[in-house]
Structure 1
Amino acid sequence: MKGLDEAERMNAIRIAITHTETTIHPIHSLVCTAPAVSRELILYVTVTDGIETTINYVEGDPEVYESALRTELDIDEYEIYPDGDDGCYSYLRNELDAYNRALATAFQRETLAVIPPIEYLPDRRMVVSIVTTSSDFREIREEIPDELTVDVISVGSVPQIADAPLTVDQRRALETAWELGYYEIPRTATLQDIADRLDCAVSTVSDLLRRGQSSLVAAALDVNDHD
């Protein structure tokens, strides 16, 4: 097999793109302006003709998040799926402004893969992991609007995902939730359904799922799980 030139080798690159108040999309700025919303994880995203469709997980008060979507933001379509009192999944569909359209265009190329989730933090940073060639990464940086700051967090030859230690009970709860359709959109199972299957209290299921999800997300982002 013919080896690739250095510029054409695939690298796993983790970067932080810092927005300004002007460039950050109002949907994502909620984590910066709403104290009850602490973090947003984009689990799936696609952009077609300037229309962005995302599936997200938001850490924070679902009622505060939905209220902002309903009253403060001009969103074309949205659905909220609460995950207890301190988080929710969301489906959002909205037209991108010029800055974010240019940002999305920079990442739309055949030799690039985005590794979800994309993380939005309260300091306006968008943290994203990609796999691409060195030459394409240079082009991507040139295409990102000058108003945005790009910092490279890490570079590796292959994407690395840390081990995600789950307790036996957490794994069983997550597997049961998956089998019953708790993570489908729209959801086809409730916490009560999972509790009935596992023969335990709803509060126990909620705690197991929340802690298990926290461990998995922390592992995927290569950060410490503080829960």
Structure 2
Amino acid sequence: MKCLRAHFDADENPFGSPYDVFAVDGRHPRGELRDLRLRPDGTVVELCVLEDAPPDIEARLADHPDIVDFDAGETADGGVVCHVHLVPDDDVRRLLELVDEHDLLLDTPIRLTREGVVVNVLGSHAQLSGAVASLPDSLTDAFCVDGLSDYEPVRGGVRADLTARQREVLEAAVERGYYDIPRRVSVEELAAELGCSQSTVSEHLRKVESRVMNRLG
């Protein structure tokens, strides 16, 4: 089985106006889609776990003409979880139809980042190639393939215990060389890159390190 790693550029906003309700101060939301399903009537149900959301998220959801129903609440770490039933635009509906038509699987969670929506799609090389070739023309500019490899499932472990935000901070720290010897990036630089305060980055890294040490101890 192959895994196609790809993302949709947020600047192209390929997911339609319902997703604008999650924007914070004009920025695209960060979080995960834990589940995403196309119903027989063409509507979509999804479970979103957001690291941050506008304070009036429930009012936005209630007022949006393409949102059929929703249930939203706060998470223990200050985020928001939303179960949403919505009417997608034609491109999103077509994307989910392609998944079914080519017998593909979405490896959840689907990551929502400031830069775009990151997806891992599973199937044979032929199935994946056929789906990519059938993408609507309106989505080709937003769709970027990041890689294709044999599928390697993520097993339980320390990483599975981390929140989405902790994983994001950890990935940035590792990629930028925070744990290299000598260290190649500072907490201040990581904070600027991640768009948060130094104290927030330090707190996330301490929590990650605490989980690692407790597992090893």
* TM-score band w.r.t. shorter chain: 0.5 to 0.7
* Residues 150 and 36 of structure 1: CA distance in aligned 2, closer, same or farther (over 3 Å): closer
Hey, what does 1:183 align to over in structure 2?
A: none
TM-score, normalised by the number of residues in structure 2: 0.65
Describe the superposition over 1:140-170 as per-residue Cα deviations: whole angstroms up to 9, x where unpaired. 112221121322222221234387537xxx9
Q: Which runs of 5+ in 1 are unaligned?
A: 1-9, 172-211
* Residues 93 and 45 of structure 1: CA distance in aligned 2, closer, same or farther (over 3 Å): same
CA contact (8 A) 1:19 1:147 kept: no
1:153 equivalenced with 2:146 (yes/no):
yes
* Residues 114 and 104 of structure 1: CA distance in aligned 2, closer, same or farther (over 3 Å): same
Aligned length: 171
Describe the superposition over 1:54-104 as per-residue Cα deviations: whole angstroms up to 9, x where unpaired. 111011146332232123453100000211573111100012221211111
Partner residue of 1:91 out of 83, 98, 102: 83
TM-score, normalised by the number of residues in structure 1: 0.63
In the TM superposition, what are the counterparts of 1:40-79 in structure 2 within 5 Å? 40-48=31-39, 49-61=41-53, 63-79=55-71
Q: Which runs of 5+ in 2 are unaligned?
A: 174-200, 205-217
* Residues 118 and 162 of structure 1: CA distance in aligned 2, closer, same or farther (over 3 Å): same
Distance 2:77 2:158 in 1: 24
CA contact (8 A) 2:22 2:57 kept: no
CA contact (8 A) 1:37 1:60 kept: no
CA RMSD in angstroms, aligned pairs only? 3.2
Hey, what does 1:218 align to over in structure 2?
A: 167
Distance 2:138 2:102 in 1: 25
In the TM superposition, what are the counterparts of 1:67-216 in structure 2 within 5 Å? 67-84=59-76, 86-109=78-101, 111-123=103-115, 125-148=116-139, 149-161=142-154, 164-165=157-158, 212-214=162-164
CA contact (8 A) 1:12 1:156 kept: yes
Counterpart of 2:158 in 1: which secondary structure? Answer: coil
CA contact (8 A) 2:4 2:121 kept: yes
4+ residue stretches of structure 1 with deviation over 6 A?
none
CA contact (8 A) 2:23 2:54 kept: no
Paired-residue identity, %: 15
Structure with more of its chain in strand, by fraction: 1
Describe the superposition over 1:192-224 as per-residue Cα deviations: whole angstroms up to 9, x where unpaired. xxxxxxxxxxxxxxxxxxxx4247x728xx934
CA contact (8 A) 2:24 2:53 kept: no
